[in-house]
Chains A and B, each alone.
Chain A
């Protein structure tokens, strides 16, 4: 019941869309008829007929005005359909009368003309009214049937009348079938388009729900990481104090223990940071903000932090910055994070060795790049390990995880940060021969990358 009422609203909507066209077509045909019959018929009769047709059309105008003003709702749709149906009956009769009026001319051509007119009106009305089948019937039958009844029952047999009546009857049946087909296909398209809308709507809701869930997830991770970080900062801070005070007072064992607490704490902290960064990258929340960046002083500032990483495995740090390196446009924080991640990774896999950071200029695709090359003398990687180096989720399976404490998620995060800055990251390595990781960034981040967020 409800569904058919909703369908009816759609149907009435299409009826409304066609109403003005129907009105205009009627007026054109009326004008044409009046012009054609000219003085063959008494003017009084013609104008009475025209007045009747126009009255029906005024009614239609009122209907159109009302339906455009109120719109179509569940409550008024039946009223609009019934009032249009009444109009259709009256309209049908007004045209049905035409052949009787023209019959007075006793001219076969004129009479045939009237048949053409009503046949074409019946055909045209399929487009304008057949979306509601009963309206078409209400229009077409009052228009076509009077002439048939007249021919069959009242007119004395004429050869002409017999054959024409037969043709007209065939025509009526054809129009009934054709209009029914039209009605069915309109109904089908309405049902389909509604189902389509429902599907699109479902999809959108589903998408919004997923989006919400993902936002909630990253919010949770952000809050969680803050909650984890606060106590962890205290652990690291106090272990540093203990370490310093113990080594000053000569309690070497305590100092060494405190150092272990501090290093483990920092490791845990960097894992938390990486998880957070990955989730922010996934949520498209990492914002790149580019500023003039003095590479030389940035590396200088990072030096103590890098040395801190390297001292654990007793590695030496060597820094080389080529003379032509100075200011680039990039994101300071992201670049710092990339370099520190790479250095800490090298530090983890190198013992009693050397980690070298070289910063050089390079021309790539006609664009000035600044390349940060991190070379270590560590255990190196085979091809298979290199393949999964940047894959956040596959590394966890690697056996090196147990042995070296894992590469963490730092490499995956770094790679994404490098992409955000419009650069490239490459690995060269051989088992036993150290690794060589180079990050090349354009001097200026291409416009389309600027202020973009990764998604």
Chain B
């Protein structure tokens, strides 16, 4: 049974690239283009891991993460933040908010996979 991944990123191409590459690696991937969509998906369905972008319009990665951690259904789901170098200070904040790990964009697929597998 393959693991289910929820990719949350506002950039369409980022979502497309990441989900296609994850599918090639054998994951079952769903995508959400913003935080509120992700939260409603999380309340309806169960995911094994969430890959969460920080910089998003409306509800950013922080807000989404904070909301996830207050919901019983998504409290325990591992979250890996997707970030770029200039958001490093934000990443530290995310770890404080309950993120499990982070990866720098652009992802090295092997690196990302290994980080994901730690939680699956």
Contact = CB atoms under 8 A, between A and B. Distances in A.
A238 B24 CA distance: 13
Contacts of A276: 85-86
Main secondary structure of the interface of B (DSSP, over half): helix
Contacts of B24: 244
A301 B118 CA distance: 12
Contacts of A230: 11, 14
B13 interface: yes
Contact of B14 (A233, A273, A308): A233
B81 to A, nearest CB: 13
B92 A289 contact: yes
B112 to A, nearest CB: 10
A283 to B, nearest CB: 12
Interface string B83-112: 011101101100000000000011011110
Contact of B21 (A225, A240, A277): A240
A376 B62 CA distance: 42
A222 B88 CA distance: 12
A277 B86 CA distance: 8
Contacts of A304: 108, 110-111, 114
Q: How large is the interface on B (under 10, 10 to 19, 20 to 34, 35 or more residues)?
A: 20 to 34
A222 B86 contact: yes
A234 B14 contact: yes
Interface string A301-338: 10011001000000000000000000000000100000
Q: How large is the interface on A (under 10, 10 to 19, 20 to 34, 35 or more residues)?
A: 20 to 34
A11 B67 CA distance: 65
Nearest to A234: B13
Contacts of B92: 289
A284 to B, nearest CB: 13
A302 to B, nearest CB: 8
B94 to A, nearest CB: 13
B79 to A, nearest CB: 18
Contact of B106 (A236, A289, A333): A236
A124 interface: no
B75 interface: no
A234 B86 contact: no
A337 to B, nearest CB: 8
Nearest to B102: A333
B55 A226 contact: yes
B20 A241 contact: yes
A237 B12 CA distance: 12
Contacts of B21: 237, 240-241, 244
Contacts of A277: 85
A269 B111 contact: no
Nearest to B92: A289
A213 to B, nearest CB: 20
A232 B84 CA distance: 12
5 contacts: A229-B84, A240-B21, A276-B86, A289-B92, A304-B108
Interface of A: 222, 225-226, 229-230, 232-234, 236-238, 240-241, 244, 266, 269, 273, 276-277, 280, 287, 289, 301, 304-305, 308, 333
Given A225-B86, A237-B13, 6 more contacts: A226-B84, A226-B86, A230-B14, A233-B106, A237-B17, A304-B114
Closest A-B pairs by Cβ, 8 of them: A237-B17, A304-B110, A234-B13, A236-B106, A233-B106, A273-B85, A305-B108, A222-B86
